[in-house]
Chain A
Amino acid sequence: MADMTMVPEKKENKAAAFFGAIGNFFRSFGLAVADGDWAVKLSLVLCGAGYFRRKQIVRGILVMLLEIGAIAYTVFIGAGYIAKLPTLGTVQQEMVYNPDTMQNEMNNYDNSLLILLFGAISIVTVIVSIILWMANEITVYHIQKDAEAGKHVNTFRNDLHDLINKKFHITLLFFPILGIIIFNIFPLIVMVAVGFTNYDRKHMPPAYLFNWVGLANFKALFGDSLTMSFGYSFRKILIWTLIWAVLATFTTYFGGILLSLLINSKYTHFKKMWRTLFVITIAIPQFVTLLMMRSFYGDTGIVNTFLEKIGLVGFLKNIGLISTNYIPFLTSPGWAKVTIVFINIWVGVPYLMLITTGVLMNIPQDLVESAEIDGANKRQIFRHITMPYMLFITGPYLVTQFTANVNNFNVIYLLTNNVYTTTDQKLAASSGQEVDLLVTWLFRLTSDKYNYKMASVIGIMVFLICAVFTLIAFNFLIKDDREEMFR
């Protein structure tokens, strides 16, 4: 319904443009209400009226149905949930004796989670309905203006035709965006909201209620008390998450570049075969390769057996690097971190090799040739042509790779879950581990401890870290317009 017509894009200040657009929207709505004829004014109540007046019967009926649906939902379902949203429910579940059936029955209790869930959905539905209602008013007014100016008023067939033509984007985007709203935006709103409640093991619906607690969870995350060690765990895990993200991103990036330079060097024969050999390791699903690596490097795993046979374990024990009869590749904090970074190199380098191979092959040869003519040696060409070109093309990928590593759940979880146990009591008290990233910690909190409130707060922190980093990096990478550099 919203009249999204094609507009050429201009480069403006984004924030100003955004608020300007909102202002315009309200202005046109006001104009439509003030200046519209009786049908347009009636459309405020009966949304289809304006269309019926212009003989757009089908469109009018569809709009009316939508209006009835939205109102019915709001009145019968939405209003109830929205009303309970401020308290998140007051009636706790209990068994009540029912004199009619002479049995104990469950009372009509409130479920805080469902209230939060459907409350959020209802609020969004109401807001969207209001926006659509205003947009509808504007559309109806435009139709009135067109009709008065003697222009052609679309029939329903014309409208349908528009949907595969100049309004094709609405047809294309309707379901994808609906999917994103339902499966991404709603859940995110709910989970972010949970961060401001006391939803945890002691407040689990349906048996118990939970309610709003303001910023208490954030305070718990940054402070330490006698009973809670979230602040301690958060600092520790945050530092390791950042170190990990930097290490993982750069080791695989430069490893990948080196490997692809090696494979594409003019001395290498059977380039394709080499490439395929390395790709095989990432072709097998990660949960298989990582779980296998976990057994491979286990305390009683095959690597330890082998190293013991050749006497390395004894040697390391003698010089005091280990105190056990095996190398604790994945079971002691220090060793585990190193092992994980190395296994991640093993997992990640072939990917980067693939990508950088593609980039290397596309380096403009005339640039390289003219540099050679000018007498540049190989190192200079690498430093001044290959690397800048590589960074230019893969820069954005590098940024997303960093955030992906902050969120790299698979590698850490599959390698350490059920294998690694922390000995740090303070970490254990908040169910963290030395090798945890913020995201695996988050997952552990929900799956083992049902501590949804803290999980939500950690999730918000992860978002903030990624958002700040991405903003800075993209400004740095893209702001100075280097697009023309290699053309």
Chain B
Amino acid sequence: MEKTNTIKNTRTIRNTVIVHVVLTILAVIWLVPVFWLLVTSFSDYDGMDTSRFFPKVWTLKQFNKVLFHSDNVVQFPRWFMNTLIIAIFTMIISTMFVLMTAYAMSCMRFKGRKALMNIGVMLQLFPGFLSMIAIYFILKSINLTNSHLGMILVYSGSSALGYLIAKGFFDTIPDSLREAAYLEGASEARTFFRIVLPLSKPIVVYTVISSFLAPWTDFIFAKIILNSGLSKDWTVAIGLYNMLDKSLLPTYFTRFCAGGILVGIPIGILFIIMQKFYVEGITGGAVKG
């Protein structure tokens, strides 16, 4: 008996060591580039210093430049405000659209519901920026390119198509709860706001954060719509991308790293909060079944 126990113990120890060694190696592989971004942002050298991993001189100079010394190329505070304004309005409109659509599709039964859902699936099979090219011309014909309003419309206009995750969550709320509400004389609207929404906090949080994040992480739509070439119109993504242009890289690379860290940290924190709900949303409907 004792012998089998020791064998078991050595095996446990051996496996534990193996698992942790493998995980450590993987974590290093995954984190080295991010770590490099972090340490480079503290470098004194403006361009990309490839001769060393850690900077020669550690300084906060680059953050200082990015935040307080804007020039024609880099206007980080301005980009940040642009993106923030766009993100806040996108968040409000998209959240409303997504939750409204999800409730109608999940909790109500009406003629044409299935047809609408099928159309939704089909529309998403087209590459997103195929329509973006036409949207650009539409916005241009009403003078909304290079404007906040145009970007907000682009991000939130067709956001209702992303209702499926929220619908999956609403599907798990028992019908009996809503039926009880109807029996008490509550209207459909009241049931939505007073019964279903309060029970759906995770998915509301998920929708709010993910729609807030969209403008921060999107690159391509902003590139098509904000094409004036004027730095002051840009979002963070376009601005940072532009800093890595071949001609600018030698003078701006370290500032790119600092900017990347500055936008990466808040966005990263939001993402980490959101990911919990993301998993629940994707698997929720099926798992709770």
Residues in chain A within 8 A of chain B (CB atoms): 4-9, 18, 21, 113-114, 117, 161, 164-166, 168-169, 171-173, 175-177, 179-180, 182-188, 190-191, 194, 259, 262-263, 265, 267-269, 274, 276-289, 291-296, 298, 300-302, 304-306, 346, 350, 354-355, 357-359, 362, 392-394, 397, 403, 407, 409-410, 413-414, 418, 438-439, 442-443, 446-447, 452, 455-456, 459, 462-463, 466-467, 470, 483, 487
Chain A residues near B187: list those with CB within 8 A.
161, 164-165, 168
- Tell me whether A467 and B125 are in contact (CB under 8 A): yes
Q: Which of chain B's residues has its CB closest to A295's CB?
A: B48
Chain A proximity mask over B230-257: 1 for CB below 8 Å, otherwise 0:
0000000100110011100100010011
Check B57 for interface membership: any CB of A closer than 8 A: no
With A175-B97, A183-B153, A190-B134 known as contacts, the answer to whether A292 contacts B287 (CB < 8 A) is no
18 cross-chain CB contacts under 8 A: A6-B111, A172-B100, A180-B158, A184-B131, A188-B130, A259-B26, A267-B20, A277-B31, A281-B30, A282-B271, A284-B34, A284-B260, A287-B219, A292-B260, A296-B36, A300-B48, A358-B282, A442-B129
CB distance from B32 to the nearest CB of A (A): 9
With A9-B109, A446-B133 known as contacts, the answer to whether A117 contacts B138 (CB < 8 A) is yes
- Tell me whether B279 and A358 are in contact (CB under 8 A): yes
Chain B residues near A18: list those with CB within 8 A.
115
- Tell me whether A346 and B30 are in contact (CB under 8 A): yes
With A295-B48, A358-B280, A459-B126 known as contacts, the answer to whether A117 contacts B23 (CB < 8 A) is no
Chain A residues near B23: list those with CB within 8 A.
262-263, 268, 274
Which of A5, A177, A183, A280 is in CB contact (< 8 Å) with B135? A183
Which of A172, A284, A466 is in CB contact (< 8 Å) with B104? A172
Chain A proximity mask over B110-151: 1 for CB below 8 Å, otherwise 0:
111111100011110111111111110110010000000000
Chain A proximity mask over B147-176: 1 for CB below 8 Å, otherwise 0:
000000110111111010000000000000
Chain B residues near A179: list those with CB within 8 A.
97, 156-160
- Tell me whether A4 and B279 are in contact (CB under 8 A): no
Which of A168, A282, A285, A452 is in CB contact (< 8 Å) with B133? A452
With A287-B217, A413-B220, A439-B127 known as contacts, the answer to whether A164 contacts B115 (CB < 8 A) is no
The CA-CA distance from A150 to B112 in the complex, in Å, is: 30
| Supplied contacts A172-B100, A452-B133, 17 more A-B pairs, CB within 8 Å | A9-B109, A9-B113, A168-B192, A175-B100, A176-B100, A176-B101, A183-B131, A187-B131, A268-B19, A274-B23, A281-B31, A295-B249, A296-B33, A362-B283, A394-B283, A397-B282, A483-B289
Overall SS of chain B's interface: helix
Check B189 for interface membership: any CB of A closer than 8 A: yes
Check B5 for interface membership: any CB of A closer than 8 A: no
3 smallest beta-carbon distances between A and B, as pairs:
A183-B157, A176-B160, A283-B268
CB distance from B121 to the nearest CB of A (A): 8
Scoring A274, A292, A446, A459 by chain B CB atoms within 10 A of each residue's CB, the highest score goes to A292
- Tell me whether B130 and A456 are in contact (CB under 8 A): yes
Chain B residues near A392: list those with CB within 8 A.
286
Chain B residues near A284: list those with CB within 8 A.
34, 37, 260, 264, 267-268
Chain B residues near A278: list those with CB within 8 A.
26-27, 30
The CA-CA distance from A446 to B223 in the complex, in Å, is: 12
Chain A residues near B283: list those with CB within 8 A.
355, 358-359, 362, 393-394
Check B12 for interface membership: any CB of A closer than 8 A: yes
Chain B residues near A9: list those with CB within 8 A.
109, 113-114
- Tell me whether A188 and B126 are in contact (CB under 8 A): yes
The CA-CA distance from A191 to B98 in the complex, in Å, is: 26
Chain A residues near B156: list those with CB within 8 A.
179
- Tell me whether A187 and B134 are in contact (CB under 8 A): yes
Which of B12, B15, B131, B154 is in CB contact (< 8 Å) with A188? B131
CB distance from A164 to the nearest CB of B (A): 4
Chain B residues near A187: list those with CB within 8 A.
130-135, 138
Which of A267, A288, A305, A413 is in CB contact (< 8 Å) with B263? A288
Overall SS of chain A's interface: helix
The CA-CA distance from A346 to B33 in the complex, in Å, is: 10
- Tell me whether A184 and B33 are in contact (CB under 8 A): no
- Tell me whether B31 and A280 are in contact (CB under 8 A): yes
Which of A268, A282, A414 is in CB contact (< 8 Å) with B20? A268
- Tell me whether A288 and B125 are in contact (CB under 8 A): no
The CA-CA distance from A301 to B51 in the complex, in Å, is: 9
Chain B residues near A269: list those with CB within 8 A.
16, 20
Which of A277, A357, A413, A414 is in CB contact (< 8 Å) with B27? A277
CB distance from B223 to the nearest CB of A (A): 8
Check B272 for interface membership: any CB of A closer than 8 A: yes
- Tell me whether B110 and A169 are in contact (CB under 8 A): yes
- Tell me whether B154 and A183 are in contact (CB under 8 A): yes
CB distance from B43 to the nearest CB of A (A): 12
Which of A184, A286, A298, A300 is in CB contact (< 8 Å) with B123? A184
- Tell me whether A168 and B189 are in contact (CB under 8 A): yes
Scoring A177, A191, A285 by chain B CB atoms within 10 A of each residue's CB, the highest score goes to A285
Check B200 for interface membership: any CB of A closer than 8 A: no
Chain B residues near A470: list those with CB within 8 A.
121, 125
Chain B residues near A113: list those with CB within 8 A.
137
CB distance from A353 to the nearest CB of B (A): 10
CB distance from B264 to the nearest CB of A (A): 4
Scoring A8, A277, A483 by chain B CB atoms within 10 A of each residue's CB, the highest score goes to A277
Q: Which chain B residues (260-283) contact chain A, with CB distance < 8 Å?
A: 260, 263-264, 267-269, 271-272, 275, 278-280, 282-283
- Tell me whether B188 and A285 are in contact (CB under 8 A): no
The CA-CA distance from A302 to B54 in the complex, in Å, is: 11
Chain A residues near B19: list those with CB within 8 A.
262, 265, 267-268
CB distance from A256 to the nearest CB of B (A): 12
CB distance from B74 to the nearest CB of A (A): 15
Chain A proximity mask over B80-119: 1 for CB below 8 Å, otherwise 0:
0000000000000000011011011000111111111000
Which of A286, A302, A394 is in CB contact (< 8 Å) with B50? A302
With A164-B187, A276-B272, A284-B260 known as contacts, the answer to whether A173 contacts B33 (CB < 8 A) is no
